[in-house]
Structure 1
Amino acid sequence: MTYLVCYSPHKDDIGAIDLACQFARSEHDTVHALTVVPRGWETAVAGDTDRDFEQWAAQEGAASAAEALEVLARHTDVVSTATWVAGRSVPQAVCEQVDALGASLIVVGSGENGPRGYVTVTSKTDRMLHSAAVPVAIAPRGYRPVPDSRITRVTMGFRDDDASWTLLDLVASICARIGASLRLVTFAVRPRRMVVSAMRDDESDIFAQWKSQAQAGLDEAVTHLRDQGLVDVEAVLAQGRSWGGAMDSVEWGREDVLVVGSSSTHKLAQVFLGSSAAKILRNSTVPVIVVP
């Protein structure tokens, strides 16, 4: 299995490569770093302008691949390669290479304009999330795992719907294979109180009933996993008055990864973020894997 990591020579953040190697180390798999450079026009323009541009792009691609190999060489226990391709669209070129390499996961970094330590989705990553047929992992900005570490705990966002139950068995099998513990989390974000005081009690009762149902779903999932032989599993109902508060109420470690499913109601087969998954992404301080 190959993890395809997107590498840009113009960014100081190498968190995506570190994350890809952390995944590969956990599964004894390989990492392939890919740089996408601009492609020249199909028809030549104004003398040798187009040819000069293509030569420049080729030099940039070759230099970037060499630089990626130097970074990858720090992970001496991970088998890795690096190449470059020319493309008009970075997301399209990456998805084409997924098919060519048989990659099982795309790994990208966060945007440079987002807060350090949090996941930030760039416009390119957003387009990739809407077109990728394989899961996409996003490293927080400035991600630095423990050197030579593996993934030791997987946290899965659990909605207690058909899509979550299907994803649950997949994630559980991976945890069993790599020796990681599994934690299920349902995020309970309390709605803002309404102005009319007469409706506050009804609103609180509805939220309390929803929490009770959510906890029952978590308990059922834990029982199901333990019946399947997965012992190291726990469940958390994370509460908060905002998505950030709910995320902060959960303890996160440097060897954690968070898995969320894409929208279960969208007709597209590719990764499509629903509102809940998008809010979880923006407030995450650990790597997030979005699964179609």
Structure 2
Amino acid sequence: MTVVAGIGPDGRGAGAVHLAGRIAASTGEDVLICSVVADAWGRASAVAGADADWRRHLEAGAVEAVAEARTIPPPEVQVDAVVRTARSVPRELAAEAERVDATMLVVGSAGDALMGHVALGNVSTWLLHRASTPVALAPRSFWSEPSDRLERLVLAVDSHDAVDSALDATTFLARHAGVGLALATFGVRRLPAFPDGGGRRADDAVYEAWREGIDALHERAATLVERSGVRVTDRIVAVADSWRGAVDKVHWREGDLLVMTSSREGPVRRIFLGSNAPRIMSHAPVPVLTLPRR
């Protein structure tokens, strides 16, 4: 089994290799580092002169970048590397992941992400809409020591469909990494401005009904997870008056990996995050794994 890590031809995105190395060391997989040189003409085109020189310069830089990146994963991880040239960087990364039948594709965050957090860029946005392989996002400046391993998966669930869609892939990863799994549901609740009025009582009733549904969801999910041989470590219901506040209520650990499933509106075998998922992932101080809808 292989984890593919995508980095830029200038070496940017090394956090993806750090995350891929941590995951591979935890699961016993190999790592394939892939750097794609963007080429507006395509590899088969006859490019000469300054354009050809520039492409050769970029390819040489990519070779140097992957050679340096090969030293990042823990020494017990088997590492290989390739440099590709293609018109579309994300399309080629997705194709490379499919060629090697990768368990996941790991990329870095956008350059404007907050330090230690995830933000979507052009490459990751394309992958989250079109990739059929699970995609992991490394926070900005993510770093992993050779001895670091996954310690817990945190599966975000908000419906029975989400549980059913994510169950097999998440428990498979947890078993191979030898870690437990926490169930987490995030919510935003903004109380009415007049707490003594009918609006507050109506809100309380709605919240209690929602909470009963979430408790039932967690109970069913925990039964299915433990039936697969994976231990459920926590059941988390994080509610605040903002998404940031809700995410901050979780006691995150250094070795956590947040797992999110595709929206019910997404196409089958593709990743398509719902409107709330990017808000949650942008505030989480841990790497994020997104799963295609099954």
TM-score (structure 2 length as normaliser)? 0.89
SS of 2:260 mapped into structure 1: strand
Match of 1:135 in 2: 134
Match of 2:156 in 1: 157
Deviates more, 1:216-225 or 1:32-41: 216-225
Q: Distance in 1 between matches of 2:63 and 2:263?
A: 38
Structure 1 residues 13 and 127, CA gap change in structure 2 (3 angstroms): closer
Letter aligned with residue 129 of structure 1:
L
Pairwise CA distance, 1:17: 0.9
Match of 1:57 in 2: 58
Structure 1 residues 243 and 271, CA gap change in structure 2 (3 angstroms): same
Structure 1 residues 28 and 237, CA gap change in structure 2 (3 angstroms): same
Q: Distance in 1 between matches of 2:232 and 2:201?
A: 39
Match of 2:69 in 1: 68
Match of 1:257 in 2: 257
Q: Distance in 2 between matches of 1:283 and 1:15?
A: 18
Are 2:182 and 2:233, in contact at CA under 8 Å, matched by a contact in 1?
Answer: yes
The 5 A counterparts of 1:17-36 are 17-36=17-36
Q: Distance in 2 between matches of 1:14 and 1:58?
A: 17
Match of 2:15 in 1: 15
Letter aligned with residue 123 of structure 1:
N
Deviates more, 1:180-189 or 1:8-17: 8-17
Pairwise CA distance, 1:121: 1.1
Pairwise CA distance, 1:194: 6.0
Structure 1 residues 64 and 177, CA gap change in structure 2 (3 angstroms): closer
SS of 1:154 mapped into structure 2: strand
Deviations 1:211-254 (A, max 9, x none): 12111221232234334443443311112111111111110111
Q: Distance in 2 between matches of 1:232 and 1:161?
A: 17
Q: Distance in 1 between matches of 2:61 and 2:40?
A: 13
Q: Distance in 2 between matches of 1:146 and 1:69?
A: 14
**Sequence identity, in percent?**
29
Are 2:118 and 2:282, in contact at CA under 8 Å, matched by a contact in 1?
Answer: yes
The 5 A counterparts of 1:129-278 are 129-191=128-190, 193=192, 197-278=197-278
Q: Distance in 2 between matches of 1:76 and 1:173?
A: 24
SS of 1:6 mapped into structure 2: strand
Match of 1:6 in 2: 6
SS of 2:103 mapped into structure 1: strand
Structure 1 residues 269 and 170, CA gap change in structure 2 (3 angstroms): closer
Structure 1 residues 69 and 147, CA gap change in structure 2 (3 angstroms): closer
Pairwise CA distance, 1:273: 0.8
Q: Distance in 1 between matches of 2:41 and 2:95?
A: 19
Pairwise CA distance, 1:11: 5.2
Pairwise CA distance, 1:272: 0.7
Deviations 1:13-55 (A, max 9, x none): 522111101110111110011111122526557x623332332
SS of 1:103 mapped into structure 2: coil
Q: Distance in 2 between matches of 1:14 and 1:145?
A: 11
Are 1:40 and 1:53, in contact at CA under 8 Å, matched by a contact in 2?
Answer: no
Are 1:130 and 1:271, in contact at CA under 8 Å, matched by a contact in 2?
Answer: yes
Q: Distance in 2 between matches of 1:85 and 1:77?
A: 26
Aligned-residue CA RMSD (Å) = 2.2
Structure 1 residues 224 and 69, CA gap change in structure 2 (3 angstroms): closer
Structure 1 residues 249 and 146, CA gap change in structure 2 (3 angstroms): farther
Q: Report how many aligned residue pairs link the two structures.
A: 289
Unaligned runs of 5+ in 2: none
Structure 1 residues 176 and 48, CA gap change in structure 2 (3 angstroms): closer
Q: Distance in 1 between matches of 2:283 and 2:178?
A: 27
